Amino acid sequence: MKTNIVLHHSKSAGYSQEDWVKTLQSVFVQTGKDFEITILHDSDSDISAEIEALNTSAVAITVLKLQDEPQSVQLQKAFENSNADGHLYIDNRTQQVVLKKSALELLGLTVKNNNNVGMIYGDYEMLENNEVKEIRLLKHHIGRVRDNQDYGKVFFFTAEALKNSEPVSADVQFNAIYDLRLKISEKFKLLHIANRYAGSLYQVVAQSKAHNVFDYLLASKDSQLEAENILSGHLKRIGAYLEAGAHYTERPKAGSEATLKASVIIPVNNRPEFICDAIESVQAQTVKEVEVIVVVNGGENDPTVESVKAYQPGGEKYDAAKPEVRLLIHDMNNLGLCFNSGARIARGEYYVQLDSDDRLTPDAVEKVLAVYNSDPKIGMVIGSYEVWEKDASGAITRMEQIPVVTHDEWTEENGRNNLLRINGAGAPRSIPIELIKEIGFSMNEEPFARNYGEDYQMVMKISERHRIGRVWDPIYKVIRHAGGTDHSIDQNTIDRNDEAKDFMRKESIQRRIKLNK
């Protein structure tokens, strides 16, 4: 099988010319010998001497001189330049990538042994501070539609798939590979080559960075809108796109037990130092027809229990004039169990989210209720929040570098489609108690779920049948601290969380296809 190996020589590369030569050298020493090379060249430097020195076997090499063109145009030129059976694209624009000697041979055999292959990607090594880390990627399925999913830096595309898939538009400036893999996946298989030990296809030399759940807030708006349009096109082609306003029904009426406007359910485990501020932020609401249901899931000996009891009759912080604080105790740390059991005893018409280490602004419930009152088809209200940081002394300060998180990707026209691309629905979230009873929070029964995204499946189900209302003002304070669950997340945890939500996306896409039929 003839392969066209495509790589960059880029003026924006974050590494030296010498390191680029190592990438090129790793191509020439492949054990699979039936290949040609296309170099996408947008640098002013002359690379003919390096090519001549390495090309001892007279491999056919084409150097395509480029201007400031987007990756989509560059790839299209590289693919059109060759009549090969497949194209091995090395994305070495900003990081040095070195192929293992047997990579091309392995890829060729994989294509031969499988039918209808469109794209192959594989696990890789990352060399960081002279230490090699094995990066293991997730296997593709119909629910892997996030634009930030790691598919690596090396991709094999069959010529058949490129010929028979929708082409990447030249208008795509930021997300060419995202667009290409989604389009190929519509008709062809995306195969993942896994590594157990010393079996990676290539090595990337780079400095990895710590996981930050707020990274997406700093992404370019143009890039985000482009990725949204790419996903929308994909969903339309596979029959999973939900048109604006389609399938909306009215939310269920409140039950007879709903004697209050809202129930704020707070699951908590061993956080006595935070729970008081959370409770008091509910009791300070401008709407007084609310209650607090604290669900301690660390058992009777959890120190949070005593902190909560201080707000109940007989406690030193009890005030009969303030909203009631109710207490449930479980001896299992299962968030779905906490929320579902809280909803079962709730006396509010609506649930309002509050994590145990965060706080509501005084007008939060008032603004949420106003949105519900505007339309009976609204089945969920999502607010906006600020990010604060708590120091060792207990003082909190606003993190000014993070803008107010409005989740404005939740547009009226396309928010529920875009939800499949992004990793969160926004906060705080509010849901009618009757819908919670009908659908229910996840209790970790989905594959890979482990106290993460416990309401993500429910959010998707609600958005498929009901309109999502928005509060654009910040009505919630997220408090970052060293003990937070989004702090110092390791890669295994990230992967497990992504597996869980991608499975939920898969189910949602399958539901949407049936719904549209």
Give the 3-state secondary structure of 270-329: CCHHHHHHHHHHHHCCCCCCEEEEEEECCCCCCCHHHHHHCCCCCCCCCCCCCCEEEEEE
Q: Using the structure block, give the residue that is written with the tokens 């008091």.
A: 280
Q: What is the pLDDT of residue 218?
A: 53
Residue 145 binned pLDDT confidence (cut-offs 50, 70, 90): very high
- Mean pLDDT, the chain, as a whole number? 94
DSSP state of 121: E
Q: What is the pLDDT of residue 141?
A: 98
Q: What is the pLDDT of residue 380?
A: 98
Answer for the pair 336, 454: CB distance below 8 angstroms, yes or no: yes
Q: What is the pLDDT averaged over residues 373-402?
A: 94
Element (H, E) at 112: helix 103-113
Q: What is the pLDDT of residue 484?
A: 62
The yes-or-no verdict on residue 214 having pLDDT over 70 is: no
Higher pLDDT, 501 or 207: 501
Answer for the pair 292, 261: CB distance below 8 angstroms, yes or no: no
Rounded to an integer, what distance in angstroms lies between the CA atom of residue 78 and that of residue 87? 9
Kindly provide the b/e burial profile for residues 319-357, where b requires at least 16 CB atoms within 10 angstroms of the residue's own CB. eeebbbbbebbbeeebbbbbbbbbbeebbbbbbbbbbbb
Q: pLDDT tens digits, residue range 405-459?
A: 998 888 999 999 999 999 889 999 999 999 999 999 999 999 999 999 999 999 9
15 phi, psi to nearest 5 deg: -150, 175
Q: What is the pLDDT of residue 486?
A: 53
Q: 297 is written with which tokens?
A: 């899931």
Rounded to an integer, what distance in angstroms lies between the CA atom of residue 499 and that of residue 440? 20
Residue 394 binned pLDDT confidence (cut-offs 50, 70, 90): confident
Answer for the pair 263, 350: CB distance below 8 angstroms, yes or no: yes
Higher pLDDT, 485 or 190: 190
Q: 269 is written with which tokens?
A: 């485990």
Residue 296 binned pLDDT confidence (cut-offs 50, 70, 90): very high
Amino acid at 292: V
Burial class (CB in 10 A: 0-12, 13-18, 19+), 197: exposed
Q: What is the pLDDT of residue 11?
A: 82
Residue 485 binned pLDDT confidence (cut-offs 50, 70, 90): low
Q: pLDDT tens digits, residue range 260-273?
A: 999 999 999 999 99
Q: pLDDT tens digits, residue range 131-142?
A: 999 999 999 999
Closest to 425 (Cα-Cα) out of 386, 455, 403:
455
Q: pLDDT tens digits, residue range 32-85?
A: 999 999 999 998 889 999 999 999 999 999 999 998 899 999 999 999 999 999
Answer for the pair 100, 127: CB distance below 8 angstroms, yes or no: no
Transcribe 376-432 into DSSP letters: TTEEEEEEEEEEEEE-TTS-EEE-TTSPPB--TT--TTTHHHHTTTSS---SSEEEE
Pairing of strands 35-41, 61-65: parallel
Q: What is the pLDDT of residue 13?
A: 84
**Three-state SS for 349?**
strand
The yes-or-no verdict on residue 127 having pLDDT over 90 is: yes
Q: How many CB atoms lie within 10 A of CB 470?
A: 21
Q: What is the pLDDT averaged over residues 297-315?
A: 98
Kindly provide the b/e burial profile for residues 115-133, where b requires at least 16 CB atoms within 10 angstroms of the residue's own CB. eebbbbbbbbbbeeeeeee
Closest to 383 (Cα-Cα) out of 438, 428, 338:
428
Q: 287 is written with which tokens?
A: 């709407």
Q: What is the pLDDT of residue 490?
A: 87
Pairing of strands 378-390, 467-480: parallel
CA distance readout (Å), 155 to 45, 65, 88, 231, 494 = 26, 22, 6, 20, 23
Q: 485 is written with which tokens?
A: 């669950």
In this prediction, what percent of the chain has a pLDDT beyond 70?
96
CA distance readout (Å), 250 to 348, 377, 378, 462 = 19, 4, 7, 11
Q: What is the pLDDT of residue 400?
A: 93
Q: What is the pLDDT averaged over residues 186-211?
A: 88
Residue 209 binned pLDDT confidence (cut-offs 50, 70, 90): low
Q: What angle do CA 366, 264, 409 make, to 5 degrees?
A: 65
Higher pLDDT, 372 or 486: 372
